[in-house]
Structure formats: structure tokens, C-alpha cells
């Protein structure tokens, strides 16, 4: 079976988005999710889904399009760049995030959509599919156009007023032009290799998302032939933003783009020829990896080979400069076998993401968000961590509370002579990781270390392969999950021999990755627990992953692909039953995406029975809220802020039991059936209240960064009404849980 590897929706660079400037401390939320009078949505206990709503023919009536919903998410991110209350460099960062998100959208979603609808090399002519492609194209072109409009009319001019200028060739004075020319001759020209196209010099391999130039030439070459087209590839080792020396920058910080440097001196590469026209260009390619998991003997070795070819997948998008002549863009489209609607002519650098390098140079506090420091969770009464955990669980809310506690948990285990075994899953952890180093240390100290490394975590494959090698060399047992499934669950287990020789289990479960960068920018929950029921079930999951045996019946954990979706639907139906019996029923769920049709149908049915449902869905959502007879008791909102909303929380009122589950899974088919996922309960009543009061209540009250979805798939930003004070959930949590600094020029 050849499997198309599906992506994780978020890489550290791609998905980090930022929030509005923090203001004064906000008041606590006025209403709790356990207050059933808070919603304001009428309960219609007898409302049922429309007749025929379950048929395939009505599918478009009851489900929103996934791709269009994903583009709408990027519009919400772009709105942060439009917000003039957001500091300028943060607005620029939002533009870069939208660019990165669009890159991945084409590399993954569009590439997958095209592959699914291609037979024998021919793209399907199905009218519905063609209409979907047209709508996606229109939306993406509008989004890209607005990106560059914001860049050129607002952000760059306002940065210039603040003393930060990106100089084009016409903007540079004589001294600056001389310096740029010297830089080109010294640093750039020696690395460039122009290729004149002829039968002996075919069109070169162009790397995914790389900067390139196409040049139209007149006259004869050195051999008397009229080669008319040349290609110049910009080496990736060169910086895309170049800072000019202070002595020639005037009263500002001056920069120029590598593309501008090459543009200004491209004629120097073609001695004796006349350059007629030229343009920068960039091609985006399918970045899926293809492996036959049932045939390969070693998945790690197979993936190492595939990584070499990822940069040259099928082309899915072409970007050129706005002034690129049509004959050159047509030539490129033909070379990459792309239709005209896959061409994006942009008014600026073809890779806006690389403008993010500017943030590394400019340190003006007034151009950035106020600094924020996560609060450390200290050990009570000086007790060691394991003694502390035997007394009570520890709930961590990142990034408001530091991830260091988790690092300390694994490090303590690696050095503790009473610890006999450590087990951990690794999905994303980055190139540098204290956690991984601690696991290596534990293995070298003779502890039984088992690590389930997911080699197919998109764009982290190389880092994970490297960690797998190092762990094995240290003596750890490394496995790569289950064939055909990604191991996405976030779990760590420590087994310790204690008084009387009894083995005791300690576990960490989380909603986010063991990654040092994302824990500072993603909102996630983590639970450290010595609850033996939960911890021993974590061990059962590890045994299932390594031994490939059938998992035992679990009393506490919900495990995908076996029981997670049925458990979610069972809990939804239980709320529906409670509502039908005339008692208050409530569901609140927070996640990155909601796409699984069976779960959505269960939510529709619960809404018709009178269950009040609030969904906090950051990205794509296929559920249509507020449809009479189908979903009038369902509200959907999306929060876009300084931090990337990443935690998954499932809340069911359940006759005042207030069941709270945290997990690694969105309500998507891939998470529920094509991944190893774990959802875990929060059993401690105090910690359960914390999840509700920190992870749900503030987001339902947010009227600053909250967007409400209507039944047509449109999002409207919430604003304070009348004299209602503004409330930003993330600012509130920073004030309550962390340490937010303010500068004099805020």
C-alpha cells in the first residue's frame, strides 16, 4: 500500500500568530461555562434536522467546504496585519505568517486535492471539482493581493517613518548604490550560475519555494547562437534581507532585498548580451512524501531517501513579479505544466515569508508586543517532583506557565537512581531539545528508555531521524509507531521503584508537542499525574505501540483509532438524552479544526434536541452553525491572537459532573482514524475548574480577538457593544498566569 503522508497542521514557523498589544488587566469572565443562563441562545428541544439532511445529495447544504474554510482562517490572520492597534513589526509578522500558511496550503492541501482528482495523469473534468478549484483560486488571489497591498501602502511606509527602510534601487543614493554594487561583486556574483537555455542546457531543476530569475536576451551568444532565455537561481545560503552599514544609511536603519540586488546588476551576468526583460519567480511544489510502508524494510531509511526528492515534487503554484512580461510568465507556466489560474503576479518579493528576517534586526520596543515571561511552577515545600506528584497532579497551561516543569520531570527521571524506565512519544521536538538529551542521558545510565518517534511529522522528518539515530546509539529502544498511522499522541511515562520495591507510574500527557519553540508561542495544556489508573493506561498504550497487540479496554483514556470517535459521539448523545429528558445540557469544545462528518452530524442532532453547544475552532470548520431546524443551538467562534490557539478541550456538562477531557486530536477524520491519538480526563476537581476558567470561559467572553462564524461560512469579528468593556482572553491569561512587561513607549 502506497500511502500519501498527511500533514500536521502546524509547524513552528507556519503557525505562530500574534495578538493585539496587551492592555490593562482585564476583569475575570462574568459567566462560567457551568452557568447555564450565560448563552442567550434559546433551547428548542423538539427541533430536528431537516428532512434528507443525512443524504449525500444534501452534503453541500449541511457542510462547509474545507479548503475555503482554511482560506478564511488566513483572512482572519491577515486581519491582524490590518489592525492598526497592533505594533508595526508584529503586523509584518502576520503578513509573513499568511505567506507561510499559503505556502503550506498549496504544498499540502492543493497538492492533495489535485492528486485525489487525477487519473492516468489527467485532471478530472467533474463540474463540481472544477467549480471548487475556481473558488479556491479566486479566494487565494484575493488574499495574496491584499497581502501585498498592505505591505506596500501601509506597513513599509509606516516602518520608513519609524526609521526602518527597505530601499529599492531607485531609492538608493550614490553611496548606497556603490556599496550594493560592491556587495554584489563580492558576495553574490561568485555564487550565481546563469543558464542559457538550449538543447545542451535544458530548463534546470528549480527547488521548491526558491528564489529564481528568468531573463529575456537579445543578440548572439559567444558561439553565434541566439539563445533567448536564461535562468538564474539565487543560492539559498545568501540572506534575503541585507543591512546597509550605518555610515551610509542616514538617520535610519536601511536594508535592501537580495532580489533587488540581483535585479540591479543582472546585466553584469550576461556580458555582450542585451537584457530585454527579466523577472523574479518562485514555484511551489507538492511536498508530500510517498512511501510503500508495507514493502519497505526500514521506514527511516526509506524516508531519508524521499527527503532528497521532496524539493522537486509536482508544481502547484507559480509566483512572478507583477511587471513580468506575459511571454515570460507563459513560458514558465508551460515549463511547470501549470494552468494560468495557478499564476500569482505579486507587487513585491515573491517570497514574503523571508521578510520575517527583518524582525531579527530591528529591536525598537515600540514596534513589538510588550515582553511576556511565562511563570514557573515551583515545587511545593521543596519536595522533589515525584513526592509532589504523589500528593497532587500538576496542570500546566502554556505558554502562560513555563514548559520547564516538563523538562525538569524528564531530567529528574533521567538522573534518579530509583527510576527504572522512561517511555515517551516524539512528534515534533526540534533540532535542539533538552528533553531528548535527557532521554539519551537516561539510556546511557542504563535505564530502560523507549521512544516512539514519528518519522512522518511534516517538515520535522529530518530532525526526528537524527534524534532516532542518537537515541539508538545511546542504547534506547526506538520504534516508529504503527504502519499506516501517525503517532500524534503526546505522552511521557516514568516508572520508579519506591518503598517496598513497588513500581509506581508517573505520566505527562499534553495537547501540544515536546518542542522548545512552540511551547512559547502555542497555547496548550499539560497534565503531570501520579494517578495510577491513568498512568498505567498510558503504559498500556506504549505496549500497544511497541508490541502491536490489541489495546486493552481503557477506563480513563480515549484512544484513536479504536475508541476516540465513538467516545466523543457517545458523550454528545448523552448530552442529547439529558436535554430530551428536560434537564440543562451543554457541550463546549475547543480545537484547531472540525471536519469529521459523523461528529458534526451528532452535534446537529444534539442541537435539535436542545443541547447548547459552543465550539471554539481556530482553523477550518465544516459545521454550519445557526441553521434553522439543524444547528440553531450551535455557536462557532475562532480566536486569533498573539499566541497560536492549539489546545484541544472537550467539555460535557453531564448532569453537573462537568466532564473535561484534554487531548492531542482535532475532530477530523485523520485524527480520529488515521492517527494514534489520546484524550485524557482531568479528574482533580480543582484542576478541572482551572481548565474551564482558563481554557474555555475567557474565550467565550473574548470580544477583541474572537470571530463568529455564520451559516454561510462567513466570519465576523466580535466587538464590545455599548459600554461593554473590551476583553481579550490571551491578555487576561497573561496577566493572571504570567508576567507582562510594559515599556515607556507602549
Q: Among all residues, which ones are annotated catalytic?
A: 488
Of the candidates 329, 365, 379, 373, the residue with the CA atom closest to the CA atom of residue 350: 329
69 alpha-carbon distance from chain centroid: 15
Please tell me the distance from the alpha carbon of residue 698 to that of residue 702, in angstroms, as a whole number.
6
Dig out the grid coordinates for 724 from the structure. 461593554
Please tell me the distance from the alpha carbon of residue 158 to that of residue 151, in angstroms, as a whole number.
10
Going by the DSSP 8-state scheme, the letter that residue 170 receives in this structure is G
> What residue numbers does the annotated binding site cover?
101, 428, 458, 522, 618, 646
> What residue numbers does the annotated binding site for Mg(2+) cover?
428, 458
Written in H, E and C, the secondary structure of 123-148 is ECCCHHHHHHHHHHHHHHHHHHHHHH
- CB within 8 A of 601, min separation 6: which ones? 54
- CB within 8 A of 169, min separation 6: which ones? 177, 260, 263, 264
Query: Looking at the DSSP assignment, which residues form a beta bridge with residue 453?
Result: 426
Please tell me the distance from the alpha carbon of residue 96 to that of residue 99, in angstroms, as a whole number.
5
Going by the DSSP 8-state scheme, the letter that residue 189 receives in this structure is G
- CB within 8 A of 422, min separation 6: which ones? 410, 413, 414, 439, 442, 447, 448, 449, 450, 492, 493, 494, 495
Please tell me the distance from the alpha carbon of residue 567 to that of residue 744, in angstroms, as a whole number.
52
User: Which bin fits 643, alpha (ψ -120 to 50), beta or left (φ > 0)?
Assistant: beta
| Buried b / exposed e along 444-477 (16+ C-beta atoms within 10 A) | eeebebbbbbbbbbbbbbebbbebbebbeebebe
Please tell me the distance from the alpha carbon of residue 214 to that of residue 463, in angstroms, as a whole number.
34
Query: Which residue matches cell numbers 535585479?
Result: 263
Dig out the grid coordinates for 566 from the structure. 465513538
> What residue numbers does the annotated binding site for ATP cover?
101, 522, 618, 646
Between the CA of residue 589 and those of 30, 313, 513, 640, what are the distances in Å?
20, 37, 20, 16
**Spatial contact of 526 and 512, defined as CB atoms under 8 Å apart:** yes
| DSSP strand pairing (229-233 vs 195-196) | antiparallel
Please tell me the distance from the alpha carbon of residue 274 to that of residue 264, in angstroms, as a whole number.
14
**How does DSSP assign 542-607, residue by residue?**
HHHHHH-PPPPP-SS-EEETTTHHHHHHHHHHHHHHHHHTTS--EEEEEES-B--HHHHHHHHHHH
Of the candidates 497, 547, 557, the residue with the CA atom closest to the CA atom of residue 527: 557
Please tell me the distance from the alpha carbon of residue 575 to that of residue 668, in angstroms, as a whole number.
21
Between the CA of residue 31 and those of 39, 157, 256, what are the distances in Å?
9, 43, 52
Half-sphere exposure at residue 257, Cβ-oriented, CA atoms within 13 angstroms: 19
User: Which bin fits 459, alpha (ψ -120 to 50), beta or left (φ > 0)?
Assistant: left
Rg (C-alpha) for the chain, rounded Å, is 27
The angle that helices 597-608 and 564-580 make with each other, rounded to 10 degrees, is 10
Going by the DSSP 8-state scheme, the letter that residue 466 receives in this structure is H
Query: Looking at the DSSP assignment, which residues form a beta bridge with residue 636?
Result: 615
Please tell me the distance from the alpha carbon of residue 571 to that of residue 679, in angstroms, as a whole number.
13
Amino acid at each position: 500500500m502506497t500511502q500519501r503522508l498527511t500533514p500536521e497542521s502546524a509547524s513552528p514557523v507556519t503557525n505562530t500568530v500574534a495578538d493585539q498589544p496587551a492592555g490593562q488587566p482585564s476583569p475575570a469572565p462574568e459567566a462560567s461555562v457551568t452557568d447555564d443562563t450565560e448563552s442567550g441562545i434559546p433551547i428548542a428541544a423538539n427541533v430536528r434536522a431537516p428532512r434528507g439532511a443525512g443524504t449525500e445529495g444534501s452534503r453541500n447544504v449541511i457542510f462547509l467546504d474545507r479548503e475555503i474554510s482554511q482560506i478564511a482562517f488566513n483572512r482572519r490572520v491577515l486581519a491582524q496585519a490590518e489592525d492598526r492597534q497592533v505594533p508595526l513589526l508584529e503586523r509584518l509578522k502576520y503578513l509573513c505568517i499568511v505567506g507561510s500558511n499559503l505556502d503550506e496550503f498549496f504544498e499540502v492541501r492543493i497538492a492533495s486535492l489535485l492528486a485525489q482528482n487525477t487519473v492516468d495523469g489527467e485532471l478530472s473534468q467533474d463540474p463540481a471539482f472544477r467549480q471548487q478549484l475556481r473558488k479556491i483560486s479566486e479566494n487565494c488571489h484575493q488574499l495574496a493581493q491584499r497581502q501585498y497591498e498592505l505591505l506596500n501602502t501601509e506597513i513599509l511606509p509606516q516602518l520608513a517613518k519609524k526609521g526602518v527602510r527597505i530601499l529599492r534601487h531607485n531609492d538608493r543614493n550614490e553611496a548606497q548604490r556603490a556599496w550594493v554594487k560592491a556587495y554584489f561583486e563580492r558576495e553574490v556574483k561568485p555564487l550565481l550560475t546563469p543558464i542559457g537555455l538550449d538543447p545542451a542546457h535544458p530548463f534546470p531543476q528549480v527547488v521548491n519555494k526558491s528564489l529564481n530569475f528568468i531573463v529575456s536576451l537579445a543578440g548572439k551568444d559567444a558561439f553565434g547562437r541566439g539563445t533567448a532565455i536564461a535562468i538564474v537561481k539565487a543560492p539559498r545560503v545568501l540572506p534575503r534581507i541585507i543591512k546597509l552599514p550605518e555610515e551610509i544609511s542616514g538617520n535610519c536603519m536601511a536594508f535592501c532585498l537580495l532580489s533587488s540586488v540581483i535585479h540591479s546588476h543582472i546585466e553584469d551576468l550576461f556580458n555582450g548580451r542585451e537584457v530585454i526583460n527579466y523577472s523574479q519567480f518562485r514555484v511551489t511544489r507538492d511536498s508530500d512524501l510517498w512511501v510503500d510502508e508495507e514493502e519497505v524494510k526500514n521506514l527511516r531509511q526509506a524516508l531519508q531517501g524521499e527527503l532528497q526528492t521532496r524539493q522537486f515534487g509536482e508544481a502547484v503554484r507559480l509566483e512572478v513579479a507583477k511587471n513580468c512580461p506575459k511571454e515570460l510568465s507563459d513560458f514558465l507556466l508551460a515549463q511547470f505544466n501549470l494552468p494560468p489560474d495557478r499564476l500569482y503576479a505579486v507587487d513585491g518579493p515573491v517570497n514574503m515569508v523571508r521578510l520575517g528576517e527583518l524582525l531579527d534586526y530591528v529591536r525598537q520596543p515600540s514596534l513589538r508586543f510588550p515582553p511576556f515571561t511565562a511563570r514557573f511552577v515551583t515545587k511545593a515545600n521543596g519536595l522533589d517532583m515525584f513526592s509532589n506528584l504523589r500528593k497532587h497532579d500538576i496542570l500546566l497551561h502554556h505558554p502562560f506557565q513555563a514548559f520547564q516543569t516538563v523538562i525538569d520531570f524528564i531530567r529528574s527521571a533521567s538522573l534518579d537512581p530509583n527510576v527504572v524506565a522512561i517511555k515517551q512519544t516524539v512528534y515534533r521536538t526540534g533540532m535542539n531539545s533538552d528533553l531528548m538529551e535527557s532521554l539519551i542521558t537516561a539510556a546511557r545510565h542504563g535505564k530502560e528508555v523507549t521512544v516512539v518517534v514519528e518519522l512522518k511529522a511534516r517538515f520535522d522528518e529530518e530532525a526526528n531521524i537524527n534524534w532516532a539515530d542518537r537515541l539508538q546509539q545511546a542504547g534506547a529502544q526506538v520504534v516508529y509507531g504503527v504502519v499506516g498511522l501517525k503517532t500524534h499522541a503526546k505522552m511521557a511515562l516514568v516508572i520508579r521503584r519506591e518503598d517496598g520495591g513497588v513500581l509506581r507510574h508517573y505520566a505527562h500527557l499534553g495537547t501540544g508537542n515536546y518542542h522548545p519553540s512552540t511551547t512559547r508561542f502555542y497555547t496548550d495544556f499539560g497534565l503531570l499525574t501520579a494517578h495510577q489508573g491513568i498512568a498505567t493506561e498510558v503504559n498500556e498504550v506504549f505496549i500497544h505501540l511497541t508490541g502491536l497487540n490489541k489495546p486493552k479496554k481503557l477506563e480513563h483514556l480515549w484512544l484513536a483509532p479504536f475508541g476516540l470517535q465513538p467516545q466523543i459521539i457517545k458523550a454528545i448523545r448523552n448530552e442529547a438524552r439529558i436535554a430530551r429528558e428536560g434537564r440543562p445540557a451543554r457541550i463546549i469544545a475547543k480545537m484547531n479544526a472540525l471536519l469529521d462528518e459523523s461528529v458534526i452530524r451528532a452535534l446537529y442532532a444534539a442541537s435539535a434536541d436542545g443541547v447548547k453547544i459552543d465550539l471554539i475552532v481556530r482553523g477550518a470548520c465544516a459545521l454550519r452553525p445557526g441553521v434553522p431546524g439543524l444547528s440553531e443551538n450551535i455557536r462557532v467562534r475562532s480566536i486569533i491572537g498573539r499566541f497560536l490557539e492549539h489546545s484541544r478541550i472537550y467539555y460535557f456538562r453531564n448532569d453537573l459532573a462537568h466532564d473535561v477531557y484534554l487531548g492531542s486530536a482535532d475532530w477530523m477524520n485523520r485524527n480520529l482514524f488515521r492517527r494514534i491519538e489520546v484524550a485524557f480526563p482531568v479528574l482533580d476537581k480543582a484542576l478541572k475548574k482551572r481548565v474551564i476558567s482558563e481554557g474555555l470561559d475567557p474565550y467565550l467572553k473574548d470580544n477583541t480577538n474572537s470571530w463568529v462564524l455564520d451559516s454561510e461560512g462567513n466570519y465576523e469579528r466580535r466587538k464590545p457593544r455599548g459600554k461593554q468593556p473590551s476583553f481579550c482572553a490571551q491578555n487576561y491569561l497573561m496577566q493572571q498566569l504570567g508576567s507582562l512587561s510594559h515599556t515607556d513607549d507602549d
